[in-house]
């Protein structure tokens, strides 16, 4: 003991102070580090629970969007004149070919069922679907209301959608109803969860007990979560169209995320204790090195003064030995600064003059650059104005004004060179109904698609224009009437091949040829008359102007 005390006394005062301060700080910080670790653990667990709940809500929203998409697809095929007529006439062959066989193949439905207005089966996918009569979507569709929802049959959960058959003008009574369904199986559920951004486990467990038990814990009439799922992930009840709970939707975190949480807690424990020890050591060393830093300040000030920094001073306000030394050093630095002050002032004046000259030169260069930029912008603005004057802003085709100018020029050229000149005018069938159903953005996108087909089909010297609204025009110089009809028919087929996400696309065409000696406006009138004859004849066809039919 005596030898330890003797060795302790012989140590420098800085080393002894370091060890004492390090021991005290470690003793005080150990409980604080333990509390910090518990707080980090609770925070990470709460964050994981919140993330799981958000993922569950995202999956439920994605499931609702899937139901809405299913209902929109069904409604697209129920508001259809041909379907209304076929069901009214009980044309079973047409119904099977265009609805009950085509829809499951095209949209991967498990079944499609068509009933007439009296509720009798008109056509359906193979299988016994009599239980559909008891579902809420079926009953609502028979009352003229479209709806979609979930339905449990045994241990199978179905996505159902039903809509009444009506003609496109809604002027006749509904002819029946269409019911489609899709099984909520593992692949579909996995696709829905991935669309919501969730890559972990997801599952649906049907509630087979009926009537639902009343639990004092969960509330009256609310079933308890499935055993073995509580605490693993987040769960949510799924309800059918009548509001009855039919299944539990469970979302489980990815295994990589669980491993990350355990690894994060382990790293947090290590970092906290390492940080605590390092903090105690750093604080102790800081106190010990404080005395050495005071001497180092004098050394650095002397080096700055020796290198020509006349502003070097030692700031030490305390009145002790270091304070006396600091005042003597600052007095010496002040005298040296006054000796070289005049020379420094002359040098600064020369530098100021040089900087002023450089600033003026920089301003001149900047003004020149701004003038060049303004000139380039003016040229670009003039070009854009010239282009906008003859171009339709939505489709990029020539506008009505540019078309009229091109028509007069082409008519004069046809008269002078004795060449044929033909005109094809067409518009999109049922565009107003499409615009009202899917909105103006979808209508604008359809106009751009049709314009792209017209632009790609036109020759370099043809004039493709948007005549107005959904009506387009294609002026064909040096083209006979027969050749123009071939061009119109090719355009009609290309427009029908447009892949629109909302509905099939078709157009009606009118074709006319220029008769020498007539005004150019007559060619537009004759093509427009042929166009309206094509629309009156059933649309999606090409008609040639006939004087006796005008």
**Phi, psi for 145 (deg, rounded to 5):** -120, 130
Q: CATH number of the domain that 158 lies in? A: 3.30.450.20
Coil, helix or strand at residue 83:
helix
Percent of the chain topping pLDDT 70: 81
Residue 148 Rama label (left phi>0; alpha psi -120 to 50; beta): beta
Is residue 343 assigned to a domain?
Answer: no
Is residue 287 assigned to a domain?
Answer: no
* 470 annotated active-site: yes
Contacts of 427 (CB under 8 A, 6+ apart): 469, 470, 471, 472, 507, 508, 531, 535
Is residue 394 assigned to a domain?
Answer: no
pLDDT digits (tens, 9 = 90+) for 371-424: 788 777 777 766 766 666 778 888 889 999 999 999 999 999 999 999 999 999
Residue 250 has pLDDT above 60, yes or no: yes
CA distance 106 to 100: 11
Is residue 114 assigned to a domain?
Answer: yes
* Catalytic residue (one of 470, 482, 499, 548): 470
Residue 233 has pLDDT above 80, yes or no: no
Is residue 272 assigned to a domain?
Answer: no
Report whether 543 contacts 531 (CB < 8 A).
yes
Residues 28-41: what's their mean pLDDT?
A: 72
Is residue 356 assigned to a domain?
Answer: no
Tokens coding 431? 């565009």
Coil, helix or strand at residue 455:
helix
In the predicted model, what is the mean pLDDT of the chain? 81
User: Can you tell me which residue has the tokens 């066809």?
Assistant: 541
Residue 447 has pLDDT above 80, yes or no: yes
Q: CATH number of the domain that 463 lies in? A: 3.30.70.270
Is the full-model pTM beyond 0.75?
no
Residue 427 has pLDDT above 80, yes or no: yes
Report whether 447 contacts 394 (CB < 8 A).
yes
Kindly report which listed range (327-336, 397-406, 519-528) carries the lowest average pLDDT score: 327-336
Is residue 488 assigned to a domain?
Answer: yes
Give me the domain span that covers residue 96.
51-213+226-252
Percent of the chain topping pLDDT 90: 29
Q: Please choose, from the candidates 75, 70, 103, the residue with its C-alpha nearest in 3D space to the C-alpha of residue 168.
A: 75
pLDDT score for 229: 46
CA distance 540 to 550: 20
Is residue 35 assigned to a domain?
Answer: no
Kindly report which listed range (94-108, 401-415, 475-489) carries the lowest average pLDDT score: 94-108
pLDDT score for 276: 65
Higher-pLDDT residue of 188 and 483 is 483
Contacts of 522 (CB under 8 A, 6+ apart): 515
Q: How many domains does the chain have?
A: 2
Q: Which one-letter DSSP state was computed for residue 204?
A: E
Residues 465-492: what's their mean pLDDT?
A: 94
């Amino acid at each position: 003991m005596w030898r330890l005390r003797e060795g302790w006394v012989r140590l420098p005062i800085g080393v002894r102070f370091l060890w004492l301060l390090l021991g005290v700080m470690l003793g005080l910080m150990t409980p604080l580090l333990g509390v910090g670790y518990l707080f980090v653990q609770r925070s990470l667990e709460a964050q994981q629970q919140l993330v799981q709940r958000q993922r569950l809500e995202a999956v439920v929203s994605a499931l609702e969007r899937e139901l809405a998409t299913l209902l929109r697809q069904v409604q697209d095929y129920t508001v259809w004149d041909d379907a209304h007529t076929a069901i009214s006439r009980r044309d079973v062959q047409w119904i099977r070919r265009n609805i009950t066989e085509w829809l499951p193949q095209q949209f991967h439905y498990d079944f499609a069922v068509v009933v007439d207005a009296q509720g009798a089966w008109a056509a359906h996918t193979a299988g016994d679907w009599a239980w559909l009569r008891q579902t809420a979507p079926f009953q609502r569709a028979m009352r003229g209301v479209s709806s979609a929802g979930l339905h449990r049959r045994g241990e199978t959960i179905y996505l159902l959608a039903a809509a009444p058959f009506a003609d496109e003008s809604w002027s006749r009574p509904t002819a029946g109803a269409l019911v489609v369904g899709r099984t909520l199986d593992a692949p579909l559920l996995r696709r829905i969860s991935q669309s919501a951004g969730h890559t972990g486990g997801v599952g649906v467990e049907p509630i087979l007990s009926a009537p639902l038990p009343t639990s004092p814990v969960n509330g009256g009439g609310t079933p308890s979560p499935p055993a073995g799922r509580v605490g693993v992930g987040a769960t949510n009840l799924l309800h059918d169209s009548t509001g009855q709970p039919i299944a539990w939707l469970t979302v489980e975190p990815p295994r990589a995320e669980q491993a990350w949480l355990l690894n994060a807690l382990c790293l947090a424990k290590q970092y906290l204790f390492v940080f605590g020890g390092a903090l105690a050591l750093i604080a102790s060393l800081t106190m010990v090195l404080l005395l050495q830093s005071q001497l180092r300040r004098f050394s650095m000030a002397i080096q700055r003064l020796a290198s020509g920094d006349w502003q070097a001073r030692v700031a030490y306000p305390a009145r002790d030995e270091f304070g006396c030394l600091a005042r003597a050093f600052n007095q010496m630095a002040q005298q040296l600064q006054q000796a070289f002050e005049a020379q420094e002032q002359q040098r600064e004046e020369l530098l100021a003059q040089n900087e002023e000259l450089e600033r003026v030169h920089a301003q001149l260069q900047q003004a020149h650059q701004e003038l060049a930029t303004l000139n380039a912008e003016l040229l670009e603005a003039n070009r854009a104005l010239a282009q906008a004057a003859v171009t339709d802003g939505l489709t990029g085709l020539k506008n009505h004004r540019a078309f009229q100018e091109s028509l007069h020029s082409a008519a004069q050229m046809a008269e002078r060179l004795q060449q044929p000149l033909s005109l094809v005018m067409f518009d999109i069938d049922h565009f107003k109904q499409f615009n009202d159903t899917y909105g103006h953005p979808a209508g604008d996108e359809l106009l751009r698609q049709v314009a792209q087909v017209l632009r790609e089909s036109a020759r370099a010297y043809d004039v493709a224009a948007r005549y107005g609204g959904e009506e387009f025009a294609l002026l064909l110089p040096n083209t006979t009437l027969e050749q123009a009809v071939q061009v119109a028919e090719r355009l009609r087929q290309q427009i029908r091949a447009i892949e629109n996400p909302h509905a099939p696309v078709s157009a009606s065409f009118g074709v006319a040829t220029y008769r020498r000696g007539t005004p150019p406006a007559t060619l537009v009138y004759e093509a427009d008359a042929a166009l309206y004859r094509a629309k009156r004849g059933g649309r999606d066809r090409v008609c040639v102007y006939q004087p006796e039919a005008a």
